[in-house]
Amino acid sequence: TQLLEQSPQFLSIQEGENLTVYCNSSSVFSSLQWYRQEPGEGPVLLVTVVTGGEVKKLKRLTFQFGDARKDSSLHITAAQPGDTGLYLCAGVASGTYKYIFGTGTRLKVLA
Amino acid sequence: DAGVIQSPRHEVTEMGQEVTLRCKPISGHNSLFWYRQTMMRGLELLIYFNNNVPIDDSGMPEDRFSAKMPNASFSTLKIQPSEPRDSAVYFCASTRGPSYGYTFGSGTRLTVV
């Protein structure tokens, strides 16, 4: 059973556009992490969100943790070709010990 | 910090051959994970170790897969005999704990022909 659903699954946009990626679950998470994976490499940790309602910014990337800690979003402002990659959310659901990854969003930013 | 080091980066082998993938975790990280990634199934956890002890191997697909961690700085994932459906990218990751996130290696791209 996949506990972390991401949407959209695929996204292709033009350079300069804004976009939002969603990570949703019916379970509560004590924290969630976001990773970006570029072709030929492993996922790289971008951020950890811990508190319900928390917002973190990393340059043009804004991460938000839902108030109930069941969902998270990643917003990219003025996307650039260098943002191209697979974005993954991940975490440990309350009551479990397993660290799970979301289904992933594959982003392509066209120059 | 050299990060998580995996070898080889690429492996092409014939069906039926034994394949051994290697991983050196980050020093001080007490948990190590082996994942397999394919387009169809995404990232799948195969096995994880805590303090060199296998904790959960429920993701290992079959008895053909085995993993060892003889010490804190080295782990292997072995497939014997290999089959074409084992073709995938295999990642090793290590962490101090889930709240710190995982550090992944660059992966081994395995092709079984």
3-state secondary structure of A39: coil
Interface contact flag, B102 A99, Cβ < 8 Å: yes
- State the pLDDT at residue A68: 95
Interface test with A, best of B1, B33, B41, B43 (most A CBs within 10 A): B43
Q: Which residues of A50-70 are buried (b: 16+ CB within 10 A; e: fewer)?
A: eeeebeeeeeebbbbbbeebb
The shortest C-alpha distance from B72 to chain A (Å) reads 21
- Could you report the per-residue pLDDT of A14-67, keeping only the tens digit for each? 999 999 999 999 999 988 999 999 988 999 999 999 999 999 999 999 999 999
- State the pLDDT at residue A65: 96
Residue A2 clears pLDDT 60, i.e. is over it: no
B26, B28, B30, B31: CA torsion to nearest 10? -20
Q: Collect the ranges in chain B with pLDDT lower than 50.
A: none
- State the pLDDT at residue A98: 78
The shortest C-alpha distance from B96 to chain A (Å) reads 13
- State the pLDDT at residue B17: 98
Give the Cα separation of A24 and A4 in Å (integer).
Answer: 6
Give the Cα-Cα-Cα angle B88, B82, B35 (nearest 5 degrees).
35
Interface contact flag, B101 A101, Cβ < 8 Å: no
Residue A1 clears pLDDT 60, i.e. is over it: no
- State the pLDDT at residue B65: 97
**Cis upstream peptide for B8 (omega within 30°):** yes
For chain B, give the DSSP string.
----EEE-SEEEE-TT--EEEEEE--TT--EEEEEEEETTTEEEEEEEEETTEEEE-TT--STTEEEEEEETTEEEEEESS--GGG-EEEEEEEES-GGG--EE---EEEEE-
Which residue on chain A is closest to B47 by alpha carbon? A98
Q: Are B90 and B110 in contact (CB under 8 A)?
A: yes
Average pLDDT over chain A, rounded to whole? 93
User: Is residue A14 exposed (0-12), middle (13-18) or buried (19+ Cβ within 10 Å)?
Assistant: exposed
Task: Tell me the one-letter amino acid at A61.
Answer: L
Phi/psi for B67 (5° steps) reads -140, 145
Phi/psi for B112 (5° steps) reads -110, 120
- Could you report the per-residue pLDDT of A92-104, keeping only the tens digit for each? 888 777 788 999 9
- State the pLDDT at residue B1: 64
